[in-house]
């Protein structure tokens, strides 16, 4: 059985410029991917913008090295974010674009770099306010009919946006990717602060996890490790909540004999929404540490889960 964890390939391509990836970059990527596979991770997350397309290109090189690898994994990639000097002209502003031609060109570029004929899922990276949803749906359905994708994913979208695309598309909407972590915990605050004055302080899309659960849409968490804030990254001196949370994470980790990374991810996975964390590290030790979360999640008790929540929010639940 494959792991519920997803390996995020944003950093495997090296620098975000036109410098070709060197042998060291490819070696680090190879080691990271092999470590993820050894941990049972078979889903790999890409986007056309990552490292100016080099993350996909490096992954494509790994697939070319080992043709058997393609049969062991599932790939998803994203399109729609236009960065100057990357997916847009150098003088352009950062913007989002989801017209028919851009969606197709984005996917076709990803397929070339990845050296594959299709991907499991194409995700719309950000909502484009100027996009015609009917045109978007038609473009995605065409790609599925051509066998280039098997399903659609959405990223950084609201409950109503997800429902709208699900209504328009013949192609299944199978995943929604959002920033979720012990640090970015609006999905929990939105639940516990219903009918509470503090609820207005949180902008997380109301009911989106419940909608996804009811409609068979998996929820993927980007930024799941909170950039290492609770597991060794420097903590700003003024951020007392983060310091207290890091201490609580370590206490729970010691009690269970696991890494801090495992605790941070298990906190997400313990939620009944079926959250799938996306890992963004290339450090083999951290990848292996994250893999411990799969066994920990069902064993993480209520008191530990709420102790972590209380530390992160800096106050008890109401």
Residues classed as catalytic? 50
| Beta-strand relationship, 218-222 and 173-179 | parallel
d(CA 259, CA 55) in angstroms, rounded, equals 28
95 to 13, 50, 76, 131, 133: CA distances (angstroms): 22, 15, 22, 12, 17
Q: How far is CA 67 from CA 23, 29, 63, in A?
A: 20, 16, 6
Whether the CB-CB separation of 144 and 103 falls below 8 Å is answered with no
Contact predicate 189/211, CB 8 Å: no
Torsion of CA 123, 118, 269, 288, to 10 degrees: -120
Are 41 and 9 within 8 A, CB to CB?
no
């Amino acid at each position: 059985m494959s792991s519920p964890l997803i390996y995020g390939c944003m950093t495997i391509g090296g620098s975000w410029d036109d410098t070709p990836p060197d042998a060291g970059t490819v070696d680090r990527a190879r080691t990271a991917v092999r470590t993820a596979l050894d941990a049972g991770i078979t889903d790999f997350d890409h986007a056309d913008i990552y490292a100016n397309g080099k993350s996909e290109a490096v992954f494509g090189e790994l697939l070319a090295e080992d043709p058997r690898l393609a049969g062991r994994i599932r790939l998803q990639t994203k399109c729609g974010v236009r960065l100057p000097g990357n997916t847009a002209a150098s003088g352009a502003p950062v913007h989002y674009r989801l017209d028919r031609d851009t969606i197709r060109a984005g996917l076709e570029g990803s397929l070339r770099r990845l050296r594959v004929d299709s991907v499991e899922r194409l995700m719309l990276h950000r909502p484009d306010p100027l996009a015609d949803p009917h045109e978007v749906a038609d473009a995605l359905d065409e790609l599925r009919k051509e066998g280039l994708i098997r399903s659609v994913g959405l990223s950084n979208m609201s409950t109503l946006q997800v429902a709208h695309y699900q209504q328009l598309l013949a192609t299944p909407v199978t995943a929604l990717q959002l920033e979720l972590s012990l640090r970015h915990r609006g999905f929990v605050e939105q639940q516990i602060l219903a009918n509470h004055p503090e609820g207005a302080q949180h902008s997380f899309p109301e009911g989106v996890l419940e909608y996804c659960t009811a409609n068979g849409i998996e929820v993927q968490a980007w930024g799941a490790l909170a950039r290492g804030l609770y597991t060794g990254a420097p903590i700003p001196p003024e951020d007392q909540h983060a310091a207290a949370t890091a201490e609580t994470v370590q206490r729970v980790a010691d009690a269970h004999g696991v890494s801090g990374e495992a605790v941070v991810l298990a906190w997400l996975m313990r939620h009944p929404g079926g959250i799938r964390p996306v890992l963004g590290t290339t450090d083999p030790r951290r990848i292996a540490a994250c893999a411990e979360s799969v066994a920990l999640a069902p064993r993480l008790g209520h008191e530990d889960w709420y102790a972590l929540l209380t530390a992160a929010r800096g106050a008890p639940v109401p």
